[in-house]
Amino acid sequence: MILNLNNREEFFDSDTLNISELMLIKKFSYPKIIVKVNDRFVEKEDFHSTYIKDGDKVIILHLLAGG
Amino acid sequence: MNFEQIRDILKTKKVGVAGCGGLGSNCAVALARVGLGTLVIADFDVVEKSNLNRQYYFYDQIGRPKTACLKENIARINPEVIVETHQTTLTGENIRFIFRDCDILVEAFDRSDMKEVILKAFTVSFPEKHLVMGIGMAGWGKNNLIQQNQYDKLIICGDQLTEIGENRPPLAPRVGVVANMQANAVIELLLGEMDDLML
């Protein structure tokens, strides 16, 4: 499938992945993380059960401390 | 657009700045200098000596609330700017109320959890408005890593890589770059894109 991940078109071998799997593949590991799928926030407890598919728009941000 | 035209547009606008620390104080001052109409600033904290290596306060303001001090500093720079102050701890609930009339909100918190609170509260309550966040401005040098990224109505200024820490303290130059980048992003949203880049 092809995802729009953080404004970039990216290709993945699987037809579907859950958020946890996606994060593992892309090496997103920072604790304070924000995930949006098609403009809806996904909470941490739902990472395992939220699946993304071809054409989805995904935003994953590290909210680093500082400011 | 000449400065008078710019000023005439900006003085009708209202921008919120959540947090008056390294990012917030510097961003607010930059916006005040160019003549923004109204600033809504919020922070619960007082000025400490250790803040002075990056925050827009003065030695004789140590111990006093940041919102009051920032309002004074802005008045000395541009007395026409209206500054609404909220000396309070921001929460998901009061964020929606305090910044409800703002055209744009600047996120200027230091804590990760507060960045999340404001991102969710503001973008869910006001999906049509822009939020300008600051993420990743620790340490020194590495100017080339600092950039602006946009995701629909969310704009992020910073390197999105460095986190503040013991051996990577926030310092005036790098924090100032990101704070001014946030102000610059706000101005661009309010004025529209600058055209006519003659090379």
pLDDT tens for chain A, 67 residues long, are 999 999 999 999 999 999 999 999 999 987 889 999 999 999 999 999 999 999 999 999 999 999 9
Looking at residue B112, the DSSP 8-state letter turns out to be: H
- Answer whether B84 touches A (CB < 8 Å): no
Domain A2-62: CATH superfamily is Beta-grasp domain (3.10.20.30)
| Chain A residues near residue B139 by CB distance under 8 angstroms | none
Q: What is the residue-averaged pLDDT of chain B?
A: 97
Tokens representing B10 are 């900006």
Q: Put the strands of the sheet holding A40-42 in their side by side order.
A: A8-11, A2-5, A57-62, A33-37, A40-42
- Give the pLDDT confidence score for residue B117 in this predicted structure: 96
pLDDT for B154 beyond 80: yes
Q: Are A33 and A64 in contact (CB under 8 A)?
A: no
Contact B173/B140 with Cβ under 8 angstroms?
A: yes
Give me the domains of chain B, ranges plus CATH numbers.
Answer: 3-191 (3.40.50.720)
Question: Do A64 and B116 lie within an 8 Å CB cutoff?
Answer: no
Phi, psi at B168, each rounded to 5°: -145, 65
Residues of chain B positioned with their CB less than 8 A from the CB of A62: 135, 160
Smallest Cβ distance to B170: which of A32, A62, A66? Answer: A66
- Alpha-helical runs (H) found in B14-171: 22-33, 66-77, 92-98, 112-125
What is the ipTM, given to two decimal places? Answer: 0.92
Q: How far apart are CA B123 and CA A41, in angstroms?
A: 10
B176 touches B26 (CB < 8 A)? yes
Q: How many CB pairs under 8 A join A and B?
A: 71
Radius of gyration for the alpha carbons in chain B, expressed in angstroms and rounded = 16
| Cα of A33 to nearest chain B Cα, Å | 8
Q: What is the DSSP letter of A63?
A: -
Measuring CA to CA, how many Å separate B82 from each of A62, B41, B60, B102, B187?
Answer: 34, 11, 23, 13, 17
Which H or E element spans position B180?
helix B172-191
- Measured CA to CA, the distance from residue B98 to residue B134 in angstroms comes to 20
pLDDT score at B199: 62
Answer whether A9 touches B (CB < 8 Å).
no
Model confidence, pTM: 0.96
